[in-house]
Amino acid sequence: MSGYIGKKIRLERIINRETKKTIIVPMDHGLTVGPIKGIEKDLGEMVNKIALGGANAVLGHIGIPLYAHRGYGPDIGLILHLSGSTSISPESNYKVLVNNVLEAVKLGADGVSLHINIGTKSDPEMLETLGTVSRECRELGMPLLAMMYPRGENIEDEYDVEVVKIAARVAAELGADIVKTNWTGDPDSFKEVVDGCMAPVIIAGGEKAGIKEILEITKQSIEVGSAGVAFGRNVFQAQDPTKLVRALYLIVNKKYDVNEAIKEVKLL
């Protein structure tokens, strides 16, 4: 039982207790693509900007707690990313385990995450990893966020609702507490993803997009039952990350319309 109450306590640090919604900012990109804009070196300053906006958690590899622990500013949850690959790998879709749940416990993390690509030739190994990590999370009371993407040789369109539904459901079947996956392009199709997954579903940000587009997608996803967003580049490469996160907070947790949120935080 202790593992389950531990999960509950930690989940309340990364999901709003009242609304059951979350805003997570992944910053794991450095392992995959190197020091891109927004996360070049001073990660702590960016974490602080995100925290000031009202995000629930940042997500990243062990470099985040090692090099970006601030010791100042508002508190924010930490999700330790356990898997990875680099963009220059000959098989970059194969995400291997680079850390473990016990290390996350030692670091004081509030959750762990895994990236799983369904439809690539290495997905059996990644599924095995997901099952193993899920068991460890239950034993140690650690929430598990599964990033589930239909991606690889068997996938023609990774935003097709039929394959996104499968990817999301796989994570729930294997015990994930939160599922991050692709926005399918419209509310009706994404509602199928949410309705077909027992665990809370949040949307990935994908490639860099315009501010209004990101906010509109957020609003549409919340209206059909998503549990929030996990936006990386679209936040940490924004002109004002704090204001953008604040606008997301108003839409996700306070049910603001997009234009109301923009006006409230003087975003544009």
Catalytic residue list contains 159: no
DSSP 89-155: STTTT-PEE-S-HHHHHHTT-SEEEEEEEETBTTHHHHHHHHHHHHHHHHHHT--EEEEEEE-STT-
| Helix H or strand E encompassing 55 | none
Tell me 82's DSSP state: -
* Alpha-carbon gap, residue 202 to 91, rounded angstroms: 27
Known active-site residue 28: yes
Identified catalytic residue from 49, 110, 149, 219: 149
Are 58 and 64 a contacting pair, CB within 8 Å?
A: yes
Among 68, 65, 77, smallest CA distance to 9 is for 77
Give the tokens for residue 230: 């996990």
180 belongs to the catalytic site: yes
Catalytic residue among 7, 49, 95, 180: 180
- Contact status, residue 197 vs residue 171, Cβ threshold 8 Å: yes
**Which of 7, 28, 165, 219 does the annotation list as catalytic?**
28
Q: Which residues are catalytic?
A: 28, 149, 180
